[in-house]
Structure 1
Amino acid sequence: MKILISNKSDLPIYEQIKAQIKEQILSGRIPENEFLPSIRQLAKDLGISVITTTRAYSDLESEGFIATVRGKGSYVLPKDNEMVREQYLKEIEDAFMIAIEKSKLANISKDELILILKNLIEE
């Protein structure tokens, strides 16, 4: 598992960790049932607070990506296809919102924006 923390990011560190672990789980780079590094070990490896890694793991658990077994650690849960689909839909919606905001700043019409999307889909 590889995690890169950026001090220049607008995202809090726990969100950066959560997003990177989630992406690695969804892409299959961290397979189902694989144990993650312990909270303390990850904090040590990244040079951050245990509280920060605890928050990231807690969020991942509440979102259904990992489970924690007392005394054994946290492991990746089997992927629920509907959950995976929902995660990708959310990411797509977020990307569309950013595109819409930028199109407004650049005075790009709705029709032009739709044409751009159609062209990208056809490529």
Structure 2
Amino acid sequence: MNILIDNKSGTPIYDQIYSQIKSQIISGALKQDELLPSIRGLAKDLRISFITTKRAYEELEREGFIYTLPAKGCYVAPKNIELLREENLKKIEEYIDEIVKLAVSCNLSKQEIIEMVNFSLEEQ
């Protein structure tokens, strides 16, 4: 598992850890039932407080991306297809909002936006 902390980023460290682990789970880089580094071990590797790492793991568990077995560790949870779909839909909506903002700033019509989307879909 590869996690990079950007101290210059405005994003809290726990959120950087959370986002990177979540992305690796969604992409399949981290496999179902794979053991994650211990909270203390990851904190030591990243040279941060274990409380920060614990918060990231707790958030991942709360959202169903990982599960904990007492005295054994934290593992990647089985992928919930519906949960992954919702995550992707959320991302798509965010991108669409950005596209609309850019389109408005360029005075694009609805039809022009649709044509651009259709063109992109045809190239896939």
User: TM bucket by the smaller chain?
Assistant: 0.7 to 0.9
Q: Which residue of 2 aligns with 1:103?
A: 103
- Take 2:103 and 2:14, find their aligned partners in 1: how far apart are those partners? 31
SS in 2 for 1:75: strand
Report the Cα offset of residue 16 of structure 1.
Answer: 1.6
Where do 4+ consecutive residues of structure 1 move more than 4 Å? Answer: none
**Larger Cα-atom Rg:** 2
1:42-65 superposed Cα distances (whole Å, 9 cap, x missing partner): 111112222221111111101101
Percent identity, aligned pairs only?
53
TM, length-normalised to structure 2 = 0.87
The 10-residue stretch of structure 1 (3-12 or 28-37) with the greater mean CA deviation from structure 2 = 3-12
In structure 2, how many angstroms separate the alpha carbons of the residues matched to 1:109 and 1:12?
A: 38
- The number of residue pairs the alignment matches comes to 123
Distance 1:113 1:39, change over 3 A: same
SS in 2 for 1:100: helix
Which residues in structure 2 correspond to 1:85-104 (within 5 Å)? 85-104=85-104
Instruction: Deviation per CA, 1:67-112: give whole Å up to 9, x if none.
Output: 1122221101111111121111112112222222233334333332
2:50 counterpart residue number: 50
Structure 1 range deviating more: 82-91 or 96-105: 96-105
Rounded Cα–Cα distance in structure 1 between residues aligned with 2:72 and 2:79: 21
Pairing 1:1-123 to 2, within 5 Å after superposition: 1-123=1-123
Alignment partners' CA distance in 2, 1:121 and 1:105: 23
Change (3 A) 1:47 1:103: farther
Is there any run of 5+ residues in structure 1 with no aligned partner, and where?
none
Instruction: Name the stretch that deviates more: 109-118 or 55-64.
Output: 109-118
* RMSD over aligned Cα atoms: 1.7
